[in-house]
Every structure is written in C-alpha cells, then in structure tokens.
Amino acid sequence: MSSEQMTAPGEMAIAVEGLSKRYEIYAEPQDRLKQMVLPRLRRLVGAEPALYFREFWALRDVSFKVMRGEAVGIIGRNGSGKSTLLQMICGILTPTTGTVTSPGRVAALLELGAGFNPEFTGRENVFLSGLVYGIPEDVLKARYQDIVDFAEIGEHIDQPVKTYSSGMYVRLAFAVASFSDPEILVVDEALSVGDVYFQRKCFRRIDELRETGCTLLFVTHSTDTLLQLCDRGIVLDQGRMVFDGPTRPAVAEYLRRVFGARVSHDDGESPDPSAKPHDAALIHAAPDGHEADDYRYLVDGGSRELFATRSGYNRAEVRLGDGSATVLDFLIKGQRGDSPIVHAREGFSLMLKYSFNRAAERVIFGLQVRTREGLIVYSANTFTVENQLYSFASGELVISEFNLVNSLLPGQYFVTVGISQFDTEGVEIGACDRRVDAIILTVIGDRRHTNGLADMQMECSVNRVALAKAGDGVA
C-alpha cells in the first residue's frame, strides 16, 4: 500500500472508496464449527444454507479523498468505526468491501504499543520500527540521537520497553514515527497518553512535518485538538460517514450526535395549548430584533420541560431540589438547536426558562461552571451579583439571561443551573431545582492559547537594557 514515490503538492495522498468492514459475531463457540460445515451440507442437498452468526458492520460504505499536505481529523463516538478505518488505511485490516489507495510512505501511531517488541530495549525498537518504516540503517543511525532527544526517556532507552510507563512508550513511538520521513502520518488518539508538555511538543513536530508537505490523518475525541491541528473534519457515527467538511461544522455535528438531537417547533411540534406564555411574568422584557427570535423560541415551549431534549444536555446530570420550581429549558443566544459552543475571549449569553409550581419568595437564580475533573472555575447567582431577591406566584413562567465574558481556555466544561430560595431568616439556602452538570459547554479557540483553565489575557513588554560602556563617566 505504500511506496517510495513522493506525491507532489496537490496530488492525492489517500483515496478511500466504498470501504466497509464486517465481523461475524457468534453466540456460542460451537456455532463457528456449524458455520464451517452445515451450510455446505445444506447446499449439497439443495437446501437454503442457514447462518449461525450475526453480522456486525464496523464500517459501512465510507468514501473520501485526502490531498497531499491536508490535515484531516476523524471524530466520532466510541464504537463509530474510527480505529477500524485507520487500521484499514494502514493495511493492518483487510476491508470486506472497498479499496484504499495510498502512494506515499505511511507512518502510523495507532494503539499504544503497536509495532514495538516488549522484550527489546528502546534502542533496539528504534531500529526495528525504523526498518519497518523503510528507513535505511545508516539514516537511522544518523537520526538516532534526534529520536532519543525528542523522546526524553534518558537512560531508559537501554531498558526493555515492557518496563516503560505509558507516557514513555508513546514518547518513543511518536519520536520514531515522526523522524521516519513520513509522507502520511496517521495518529489514533495515542497522544492523549502523554502529559501537556509532551502534547505541545508533538503538535510543534506535526506542524514542522506539515510544512514539508506531510499529510496528517488524526483520530481524536478532543474537539479542541481537532480545531488546532486539522483543516477538515470527518464525522463517523455507527460505522457511517455523516459529515465531511470544515472543522468547526464538523465539531458542531459531532457534539449534536453525542449530546442529543434538537427538538424544535420548526420540526413539526406545536406548543402546549394549555400553556399561556404571554401571561407569564418575565424577569427581562421581551427584546427586539434578532434577539427576540431566541426569546420567542423559549416562550413558545410553554410550560413543557424540554431541557433534556436539547443538544448539549448531559444525560448523567444530578438533579436536586424540593420540586417547588423547575428549570424547563435552556439555550445559548444565537445557537438555537445547536450544541453549546462558545469562542474563547468572546462574550455569550445563556438563557434559561423556569416554572414555579408553587408561590416562592426570596428566590435566587444561579449557575456554576466546572471542569471535567469537577474543579469549580466559576460560580455566581443573582443575589451575589445584583444583591437582589425575587418573588413569584404559583404557575408563573420566567426567563432569565446570564450575560458572560468567556475567560475559559479551550476545552469542555459542565454547567450547573438552578433556582434556590432563602429561608425565612435569610440564612440558609435551599434548592428548588438544581440541575448539576446538566449542560456540556464547549469552548473553542486557536493554538495561540496557553494551557490551564482561565485566560488572563496577558500582555507583555520586552525592553533591551543599554549597558554603559567602559570609560563612560557621569558628568
């Protein structure tokens, strides 16, 4: 599948046509023997052969082309066929149907440990893997120190790789692959094993390879990595290609499929006839112009609880409260029906709709933002920000709008929203309806951003200091 012929700029690097992969799933071990023998016997007697397995299609009829120098990211849920696709492109798996054409040298960094002999030392595996990639031994010797320096595993290079940590393993594997003059570099989620420093180092190395015309095929679950590294995104879902295009729409399609499809009145639903949104008490008066569309979108839902139908809803949310009020719905202004995606360093508005099941006084509306690890990065409510409490009658509908400046760095975060109420003494706060980690918020940016959680928007100045020359005096 690979050759020494170098593809010229603008030429095709990879062509995938009608690629499919089928597996036979047997319920019992003896069914394999039945499948080998009984269908043949039934054909001999003129009977229709029976199948003793069920078909599982890991990939179905996938076609696309990648041009030389392109960086294409493949994204999808677990089990969508991403790794199967890469393995067929690299020649590790044989397609059931379809073809893969790739005229360039492919360097693959697939699952952790693939291509290394665990009994060999790191040094021995460098030369073993390099020869597999087709690099002459004299060239490998000349590049050996560069590979070792990049991997940064020190004296462990002469130890068996079975003693390596996962981070050391992937450091060495990536170093060998990236210094093998690849025309096509295929990476399957392996870089997620390394620490942040090493990931940055790998991204810089990938940029260097791309400047030489190397083609990148990258599988990841990280939407931020896809946006940073790739020009184009391919979304797989249940073995089929559902999107092929620019990275930002690809990320939106992926998030829509992961976190749920939209449900809107435009799709044929009609509002609840028993609801009377026009009579509801609303914290903010109805806005004008385009903003009114989002406001009306929430209002038209009436008193129905649509929160869990929205893209970006976290099915693993935790719900707390005494049931005196309900958080009914949410959206990011300007993103009706889309997954909540916001840009780093830009403002955005989170709109929420609530209903009150009984009269309530001393009411507080709040939100909290946490990392995937559970670290709180922001928490506020209407009392701490505005020093204001609200009162509502039973049956009232309310829409609130939280206007926020996004100081978060690229990544994914969980948003908790809810209604709380001070007790009669104004001391304790009880939850009416608190939806913990209910919204998955994706922050996107570019590679200029640094690491961490918050963007402190550093500005710096660097000044040369003119040193006095020898012999200079002071008047």
Per-residue pLDDT for 279 more than 50? no
SS3 label, residue 422: strand
What is the DSSP secondary structure assignment for residue 408, as one 8-state letter? Answer: B
Residues 372 and 228 in one domain: no
Distances in whole angstroms, Cα of residue 368 to Cα of each of 423, 441, 452: 21, 12, 18
Distances in whole angstroms, Cα of residue 227 to Cα of each of 69, 251, 332, 340: 16, 8, 21, 16
Can you spell out the DSSP letters for 363-409? EEEEEEEE-TT--EEEEEEHHHHH---EEE-TT-EEEEEEEEE--BP
Residues 205 and 339 in one domain: no
Residues 84 and 167 in one domain: yes
Kindly state whether residue 295 falls inside one of the protein's structural domains: yes
Q: What is the torsional sign of CA 230, 232, 236, 239?
A: negative
**Nearest-angstrom CA–CA distance, 205 and 332:** 37
Kindly state whether residue 467 falls inside one of the protein's structural domains: no
Please report which residue ranges of 179-325 form alpha helices under DSSP H. 196-211, 223-229, 247-259, 291-299
Residues 155 and 108 in one domain: yes
**Nearest-angstrom CA–CA distance, 17 and 460:** 51
Residues 158 and 307 in one domain: no
Kindly state whether residue 138 falls inside one of the protein's structural domains: yes
Residues 163-183: pLDDT tens digits?
888 778 888 888 888 888 888
Sheet strands side by side (includes 347-356): 325-332, 347-356, 397-405
pLDDT grade for 114, boundaries at 50, 70 and 90:
low
pLDDT value of position 282 = 44
Residues 289 and 243 in one domain: no
- Please compute the mean of the pLDDT values over residues 7-28 and round it to a whole number: 82
pLDDT value of position 78 = 82
Per-residue pLDDT for 473 more than 90? no
Kindly state whether residue 212 falls inside one of the protein's structural domains: yes
Residues 84 and 225 in one domain: yes
Residues 248 and 333 in one domain: no
Kindly state whether residue 60 falls inside one of the protein's structural domains: yes
pLDDT value of position 193 = 56
Spatial contact of 343 and 443, defined as CB atoms under 8 Å apart: yes
- Of the candidate ranges 191-195, 300-304, 456-460, the one whose mean pLDDT is the lowest: 191-195
Residues pairing with 101 in the sheet:
15
Per-residue pLDDT for 404 more than 90? yes
Kindly state whether residue 263 falls inside one of the protein's structural domains: no
Per-residue pLDDT for 265 more than 50? no
The kind and range of the H/E element at 40 are: helix 30-44
Kindly state whether residue 3 falls inside one of the protein's structural domains: no
SS3 label, residue 265: helix
Residues 341-374: pLDDT tens digits?
888 888 999 999 999 999 999 999 999 999 887 8
What is the end-to-end Cα distance of the chain in Å, rounded?
79
- CATH code at position 96: 3.40.50.300
pLDDT value of position 447 = 53
Residues 32-85: pLDDT tens digits?
888 888 878 878 877 777 777 788 899 999 999 999 889 999 998 888 898 899
pLDDT value of position 113 = 54
Per-residue pLDDT for 188 more than 60? yes
- Of the candidate ranges 32-41, 111-120, 190-199, the one whose mean pLDDT is the lowest: 190-199
- CATH code at position 419: 2.70.50.60
**Nearest-angstrom CA–CA distance, 22 and 19:** 10
Residues 208-222: pLDDT tens digits?
888 888 898 888 877
pLDDT value of position 220 = 80
Residue 433: give the domain boundaries: 279-444
Count up the domains in the chain and report the number: 2
Q: Which of 257, 291, 309 lies at the terminal end of a domain, its last residue?
A: 257
Residues 211 and 146 in one domain: yes
**Nearest-angstrom CA–CA distance, 283 and 278:** 13
pLDDT grade for 413, boundaries at 50, 70 and 90:
very high
Spatial contact of 310 and 262, defined as CB atoms under 8 Å apart: yes
- Please compute the mean of the pLDDT values over residues 85-89 and round it to a whole number: 89
Residue type for position 18: G
Residues 38 and 165 in one domain: yes
Residues 218 and 301 in one domain: no
pLDDT, averaged across the chain: 81
What's the whole-model pTM score? 0.62
SS3 label, residue 350: strand
pLDDT grade for 474, boundaries at 50, 70 and 90:
low
Residues 288 and 383 in one domain: yes
Residues 416-448: pLDDT tens digits?
999 999 887 777 888 999 999 999 998 887 655
Kindly state whether residue 462 falls inside one of the protein's structural domains: no
Nearest to 319 by CA among 331, 332, 307: 307
